[in-house]
Structure 1
Amino acid sequence: MRDYDEITAFLGEWGPFQILTFLLLSLSVFPNGFGGMSIVFVGDIPEHRCFIPGNLNLSEAWMNRTIPLEQAQGKLQYSKCRRYRLDVIRNLSEIFPDPDSVNISEVEQEPCLDGWVYSKDQYISTIVSEWDLVCNDDWKMPFSMSIYFLGVLVGSLVSGMLSDRFGRKAVLFGTMAVQTSFNVLQVFSSSWEIFCLINFLIGIGQISNYVAAFVLGSELLGKSIRITYCTLGIGISYACGYMFLPLVAYFIRSWQVLLLTLSLVGLMYIPLWWFIYESPRWLLSKGRVQEAEAIFQHIAKKNGLTLPEVLFNDLELESIKDKNIKSFPISHLVKTHNIRSITIISLIVWLILAIGYYGLSLNTPNLHGDDYLNCFFAGAIEIPANLAAWLFLQKFSRKLSLSGSLFFGGIVLFFIQLIPPSVSILATVLVMVGKLANTCAFTIIYTYTAELYATVIRNTGVGVSLMASRLGSILSPYFLFLGVYYEFLPYILMGSLTILSAILILLLPETNNFPLPNTIDQMQRMKGFKSACNHRYYLNTNEMATEVNCVAIKNEEI
């Protein structure tokens, strides 16, 4: 019996309709590139020091001595969180006009009781200067990032269910509206707590939009275009959105105006409603045959083709419905020793990848050089990374491509600590190279994970893996926070974990040039794990049925 792709093959793979759909759906991902990364500038920490009230009547010489000097990251600088006791300083200034005649270092210190003064050299304002997220409250800055990624985690859980219930198109545009409207509301946040709450809601909309575009494109486009769409289409559009962020932020130095400007970009996507169509596959699964056939009619007309009189017979329609509603519980991911091992390794690798990707992306302000150029390069580097991933997926082993990318990226990060301060630009280059390798691996693992799991548990397996990556993104800001204690500690940890994930990948089976498994019994066995099955199953390759006995592949990697 024919499947959906075979029945609709007459529509072609790359006609005018597919080209337009490819471009528009890729374009819909553009705001995702700057949506999650805007915190790089919105939440950057300006140079700051304790505020000294002007009513102390101190001379300029004494004013300059009210802040103690302390060693930080190998250099002497003014304290950001402490000052000398002002009552003592005032008494000393009345007795000794010249502060150099007094050993001020012995004066007792106190916290910044009157607030802070923030440098205006780079920013007019950020949320840090708005709500004093420094010193004892410095934990609030990484928490602001983590709460966004917590929203992304929740969005990952609900987006699939919403998409299956209400349709891919409705969720795509609905979540884009959520992003735009809550970004506007965030501009008017009256407190840090309100900002975090809205950031959580934006995170829900951001990932739901991305997933809906990913699924809708995969279902509207043909087999030969799907990998290109999921790597080059979505990946490059995301990277362009990423590069757009520093270009806007360079000219807009106030966090409120920056967020408002970025949020208004979402209004440009309203006209796309009339050019992007619902997934016919989803419509058929819901029994809405006439609506699906109307879309097929439009595609055929757009591509200059004639629609057959009968597309689906009753038996084929029932088969499509069954395939869409049939699912297995999450317990099947740990039901057998082989699948359990694949799942555990996948979860670990996805979590580490997310820590590395978001850790490097959010670390832009801490790099040497210009923040805006560094952020632009961090986005631009994703274009060759996606091109490399597309090439690897087309031509080479999934396992070796993924493991090699991770190993290379981990080694690069691990050795950043060896770069001397005199050539700090080289450290920034290595960070960018590490991000290239990490982004390439992140793109490959989507396809690889989907190919590892059988059809009946594929959505569940990929969904659980995505949840692990969201947990990694929640943890990533705190990896950066460790840099307060030792500048290179985040790179050492991320590099070591990335190398560990590269080793774990080598334990998984290869999937390139093997047909997708439909049943759990057809899932490939990890090397060294015995198979208990004795029955035979079929692998369809090049329209030929090849009979394979499970016993023959025991203890082997296929």
Structure 2
Amino acid sequence: MAFQDLLDQVGGMGRLQIIQMAFLLLCNALAAPHIMLENFTAVILGHRCWVHILDNDTVSDNATGTLSHNTLLRISIPLDSNLRPEKCRRFIHPQWQLLHQNRTFSNMSEPDTEPCMDGWVYDRSSFLSTTVTEWDLVCESQSLNSVSKFFFMAGMLMGSIVCGYLTDRFGRRLLLTWSLFQLAVAETCAALAPTFLVYCSLRLLAGMSTTTILTNTVLLIVEWTTPKYQAMGATMAILFCNLGQSTIAGLAYGIRNWHTLQLVVSIPIFFLFIFSRFAIALPTFGLFLHLQHLGTNVFLVQILLGAVSIPSNYVSIWTLNHKGRRISLFFFMSMMGIYFLVITFVPEEMQTMRIILTTLGGGLSFASVSCSVTFSNELLPTVIRATGLGIIGVCTNLGAALAPLLMILETYAAPIPWVIYGASCILAGLTVFLLPETRNQPLPDSLQDIKNEGKVSREVKQEELSIKETQF
């Protein structure tokens, strides 16, 4: 039986397709703005040469103390053909004679000028900073501003070339997950790039990821729907790309610093891993790898975490057996998320409270991992269990690698990494309810077993409902 025929039998647009489409459309909405990002992060601001007597606040000269800013500008910067200050040249020496507007100096030669030897002064009325002001991409270096855009587009070209092969070789979902990870890391690091070359290299990687994401989302939407809904799905994918690109203008209007804008459009992509099983490793390793941020006595905290692992695993066993897999995982993940949000606001002076909370957070983390491992093994049928666990392991390692990178955001605001860890836990806990309950159920041996189990489950529910109605 062909896959499309199977879709026709089970329903062309069921709950699975709707949830998957919503996630893929969100991917498009978050990835597409990176194509237009440099319209706002790489704006060339108005600029002129830096001049000692005009821009050095420590200069105290009686001869210039009573002169206005415009007057000092007139004797320091030559005018261009439009009678506006030159952007790339300045007078070698102040031209005091230009202050005498009513006198002529017919025997004087043209004043000597020179390039901007000491940097530039930028008009920051529209943007506080851009990549242009970051690396002075003006005058002789202005062409480099186009180079960074070329790198991104070259990345999209490279992604288009290899995307098809890699997608067919390793699968749509795995490549989509990797591309989301690559885009999030590359664009977040681009905001912190120390040099222009590093920035261009990161934008190249971002371009490769963007085109792969946009291609795979359309593929997954079309392949998982019947012909009746395929045109609608593809159109919706394009629509959400356009909506995502429209939001960048609103964000840029409110955020005039290119570092902040770059982070704002990049960090939300990390949350997409919540739906692709990034969800437990990220906060867990965020906690375990940064104990020094949570308490001064790292030795004591490490010992307490080891001690709390025994009771936490016992509690997880009890909840798994008596409350079910979904409720257990939701509870521990949500509580761990609350822990991260609470510890953020506990002052560093309250070391005892921070150590207690960290110990509880570690216990919740151990319990979450135990529940996750149990649940994952029970969800996967025997024929693909090893492969499935291997893919989950890859996702886990990606989450673990991402955890320390988020701590870079502490340079902007100390609570940001911990808030991200906490929010990811809570959102991940909610997504658990999209999965079937496996408590006291036999392990599935094949994909057909999963299908039959769902059918039997629905029949049992209908039978129970019928009995209740008959008794009533």
For 1:127, give the aligned amino acid.
T
What is the CA deviation profile of residues 454-507 of structure 1, one whole-angstrom value per residue up to 9, with x for unaligned ones? xxxxxxxxxxxxxxxxxxxxxxxxxxxxxxxxxxxxxxxxxxxxxxxxxxxxxx
Deviation at 1:53, TM superposition (A): 1.2
Q: What is the CA–CA distance in structure 2 between the aligned matches of 1:241 and 1:291, rounded to whole Å? A: 40
For 1:101, give the aligned amino acid.
R
Alignment of 1:84-233 (within 5 A): 85-87=91-93, 89=94, 92-93=95-96, 98=100, 101=103, 106-231=110-235, 233=236
Conservation of the 8 A alpha-carbon contact between 1:11 and 1:300: no
Q: Which of residues 74, 77, 82 is equivalent to 1:64?
A: 74
Which residue is equivalent to 1:266? Answer: 269
Q: What is the CA–CA distance in structure 2 between the aligned matches of 1:244 and 1:298, rounded to whole Å? A: 44
Q: Structure 1 293/212 Cα, relative in aligned 2: closer, same or farther at 3 Å?
A: farther
* Unaligned runs of at least 5 residues, structure 2: 54-58, 279-383, 388-444, 461-472
Which residue is equivalent to 1:237? Answer: 240
Across the aligned residues of Structure 1 and Structure 2, the Cα RMSD in angstroms comes to 3.2
Q: Structure 1 110/194 Cα, relative in aligned 2: closer, same or farther at 3 Å?
A: same
Conservation of the 8 A alpha-carbon contact between 2:31 and 2:214: yes
Which residue is equivalent to 2:51? Answer: 52
Deviates more, 1:58-67 or 1:23-32: 58-67
Which residue is equivalent to 1:28? Answer: 27
Conservation of the 8 A alpha-carbon contact between 2:32 and 2:210: no
Conservation of the 8 A alpha-carbon contact between 2:183 and 2:210: yes
SS of corresponding position for 1:110 = strand
For 2:100, give the aligned amino acid.
D
* Unaligned runs of at least 5 residues, structure 1: 276-282, 307-558
Q: Structure 1 299/144 Cα, relative in aligned 2: closer, same or farther at 3 Å?
A: farther
Larger Rg over CA atoms = 2
For 1:273, give the aligned amino acid.
S
Which residue is equivalent to 1:80? Answer: 87
Q: What is the CA–CA distance in structure 2 between the aligned matches of 1:25 and 1:251, rounded to whole Å? A: 27
Deviation at 1:291, TM superposition (A): 6.8
Q: Structure 1 305/228 Cα, relative in aligned 2: closer, same or farther at 3 Å?
A: farther
Q: What is the CA–CA distance in structure 1 between the aligned matches of 2:238 and 2:118, rounded to whole Å? A: 47
Deviation at 1:188, TM superposition (A): 1.4
Q: What is the percentage of aligned positions where both structures have the same residue?
A: 25
What is the CA deviation profile of residues 324-357 of structure 1, one whole-angstrom value per residue up to 9, with x for unaligned ones? xxxxxxxxxxxxxxxxxxxxxxxxxxxxxxxxxx
Conservation of the 8 A alpha-carbon contact between 1:96 and 1:102: no
Which residue is equivalent to 1:481? Answer: none
Q: What is the CA–CA distance in structure 1 between the aligned matches of 2:187 and 2:16, rounded to whole Å? A: 32
TM-score (norm 2): 0.54
Q: Structure 1 296/195 Cα, relative in aligned 2: closer, same or farther at 3 Å?
A: farther
Which residue is equivalent to 1:10? Answer: 9
Which residue is equivalent to 1:414? Answer: none
Matched, 1:248 2:246: no
Q: What is the CA–CA distance in structure 2 between the aligned matches of 1:258 and 1:167, rounded to whole Å? A: 33
Q: Structure 1 149/222 Cα, relative in aligned 2: closer, same or farther at 3 Å?
A: same
Conservation of the 8 A alpha-carbon contact between 1:180 and 1:263: yes
SS of corresponding position for 1:117 = strand
What is the CA deviation profile of residues 390-439 of structure 1, one whole-angstrom value per residue up to 9, with x for unaligned ones? xxxxxxxxxxxxxxxxxxxxxxxxxxxxxxxxxxxxxxxxxxxxxxxxxx
Deviation at 1:44, TM superposition (A): 0.5
Q: What is the CA–CA distance in structure 2 between the aligned matches of 1:5 and 1:216, rounded to whole Å? A: 13
Deviation at 1:27, TM superposition (A): 1.4
Q: What is the CA–CA distance in structure 2 between the aligned matches of 1:26 and 1:112, rounded to whole Å? A: 48
Deviation at 1:229, TM superposition (A): 0.9
Q: What is the CA–CA distance in structure 2 between the aligned matches of 1:66 and 1:301, rounded to whole Å? A: 86
Alignment of 1:80-479 (within 5 A): 80-83=87-90, 85-87=91-93, 89=94, 92-93=95-96, 98=100, 101=103, 106-231=110-235, 233-273=236-276, 293=448
Which residue is equivalent to 2:337? Answer: none
Deviation at 1:260, TM superposition (A): 1.2
Q: Structure 1 129/10 Cα, relative in aligned 2: closer, same or farther at 3 Å?
A: same
Deviation at 1:62, TM superposition (A): 4.1
Deviation at 1:102, TM superposition (A): 5.4
Conservation of the 8 A alpha-carbon contact between 1:17 and 1:299: no
Deviation at 1:119, TM superposition (A): 0.7
Conservation of the 8 A alpha-carbon contact between 1:62 and 1:99: no
SS of corresponding position for 2:76 = coil
Conservation of the 8 A alpha-carbon contact between 1:11 and 1:305: no
Q: What is the CA–CA distance in structure 2 between the aligned matches of 1:124 and 1:224, rounded to whole Å? A: 50
Deviation at 1:197, TM superposition (A): 0.8
SS of corresponding position for 2:118 = coil
Conservation of the 8 A alpha-carbon contact between 2:92 and 2:112: no
